[in-house]
Amino acid sequence: MTSSKNTIHQIEKIGAISGILSIIFYFSAAVLPFVPDFLGRLLAFAFPLLWIIAVMGLYSYLKKRSHTPSLEIAYLFGIIGSAIACSFIVVQQANFIWHDAAMAAAQSEEAKSLLKASFTGANRVQLGLDVAFDIFSAISWFLFGWNIAKGPGLTKILGWIGCLVSAGLLTLNMITFPTPPADAKLIDLGPFVAMWILAVFIWFTVIVFKKKNIAD
């Protein structure tokens, strides 16, 4: 029994660190221009994989405090959303590499125009997958926020902030579909959700490494 408890606690520790790393990788791949292409792709591919581990750890901790149906849905949708994220990032990067190589080899303006049109059509696939990712992840983090908000004090505030930004992300995606909110000249709440997730996993890391059983 003790061994089982230790294993669960280790999963929570690994999940907490994975959550922090996933967001660091997300921002590094997205906003650091000096990162080499191959390293940027590696960071981008790794972030959703780490997210799966992070969701496992957070779920394991929260279900000991209050095991609810909404938490089960949050866990399942988080795993599915992360898998979709990996899929759309791989498709996106493959499209970019193909397009850049084809444009470099094009000999005429007509060929370049045709390639640009082809790329626009093919790129819609990854944009659609991106929306699917946002749907699953926004619902997942809304429900995780809902369950986190059951804690007292600052924990409650942290949870309700997550509900707010997640609901906003989903709403904006539905309003502008199939165009991303940023392209529709509306705010992209993705980075704000990511910053909230980072805050959650910093909070979670402090808790699990202090070996607390109930959130403060």
In the prediction, which pLDDT does 153 show?
A: 75
Which tokens sit at 101?
């190589």
Q: Is the C-alpha dihedral spanning 29, 35, 40, 43 positive or negative? A: negative
Which tokens sit at 67?
């095991």
CA-to-CA distance for 97 and 30, rounded, in angstroms? 16
pLDDT above 60: residue 30: yes
In the prediction, which pLDDT does 154 show?
A: 79
Tell me which DSSP letter residue 214 carries: S
Q: With bands split at pLDDT 50, 70 and 90, how would you rate the model's confidence at 214?
A: very low
Which tokens sit at 76?
């399942």
* Pick from 174, 197, 177, 213: nearest CA to 48: 197
Judge whether 29 and 47 are in contact, CB under 8 Å. yes
pLDDT above 80: residue 72: yes
CA-to-CA distance for 163 and 90, rounded, in angstroms? 29
In the prediction, which pLDDT does 213 show?
A: 47
Tell me which DSSP letter residue 213 carries: S
pLDDT above 80: residue 35: no
* Pick from 48, 120, 118: nearest CA to 89: 48
Phi-psi region of 211 (alpha: psi -120 to 50; beta: other; left: phi over 0): left
Per residue in 42-63, pLDDT (tens digit) is 888 999 999 999 999 999 999 9
- Minimum mean pLDDT range among 90-94, 104-108, 198-202: 104-108
Average pLDDT, the chain: 86
How many beta carbons lie within 10 A of that of residue 165, not counting itself? 23
CA 189 from centroid of its chain's CA atoms: 12
All residues at 6 or more sequence positions from 31 whose CB lies less than 8 Å from its CB, including other chains: none
pLDDT above 80: residue 105: no
For the residues 125-154, what does the mean pLDDT come to? 90
In the prediction, which pLDDT does 6 show?
A: 66
pTM: 0.85
Residue 160 half-sphere exposure toward CB, CA atoms < 13 A: 8
